[in-house]
Amino acid sequence: MVQVNKKKEKMENLKQKTLINFKKAQSHITKIINMLNKNEYCINVIQQNLAVIGLLRSAHQMLMENHLNTYFKTAMGTKNEKRKKEMTQEVLKVTKLFNRRHSIPYHRLVSQSHLGSGSHGFFFGKRGFKQLVNEKI
């Protein structure tokens, strides 16, 4: 009984930490929107964006940990081979999605020149990032 209560307590703590990360990310996103509306310096916006990415990545890891320690573990302990395969495929699918969306490939970054321009050169305009780098600004 004590073991079950400790497990539930740990899961509840993990849930609360995950919620805190999502709420912090939401707050940062609101701040980013305000910064963009005020045409604030791009590096400051980028730093806030990186904070959001870190919070979301951490929340993702906590969600995955909880899923693996609960639903996945339970499914793997059964004799239902179909359910085991389904659960494994689900985890592989979200892991693949996470890895694919985890970073922006350089070729996508340099091709996004349609974004317009901001007061601090926040976006790269028609010249694109690659040309700016080549000009060594």
pLDDT digits (tens, 9 = 90+) for 9-47: 888 899 999 999 999 999 999 999 999 999 999 999 999
Average pLDDT over residues 94-118: 61
Reported pTM: 0.68
The full set of domain ranges for the chain reads: 2-103
Question: Residue 106 pLDDT > 70, yes or no?
Answer: no
Instruction: Band the pLDDT of 123: cuts 50, 70, 90.
Output: very low
In degrees, rounded to 5, the angle at the alpha carbon of residue 52 between the alpha carbons of residues 91 and 20 is 75
Instruction: Band the pLDDT of 81: cuts 50, 70, 90.
Output: very high
| Distance from C-alpha of 9 to C-alpha of 2, rounded to nearest angstrom | 10
Question: Residue 8 pLDDT > 90, yes or no?
Answer: no
Domain made up of 2-103: CATH architecture: Up-down Bundle (1.20)
**Residue closest to 53 by CA, chosen among 31, 29, 69, 76:** 29
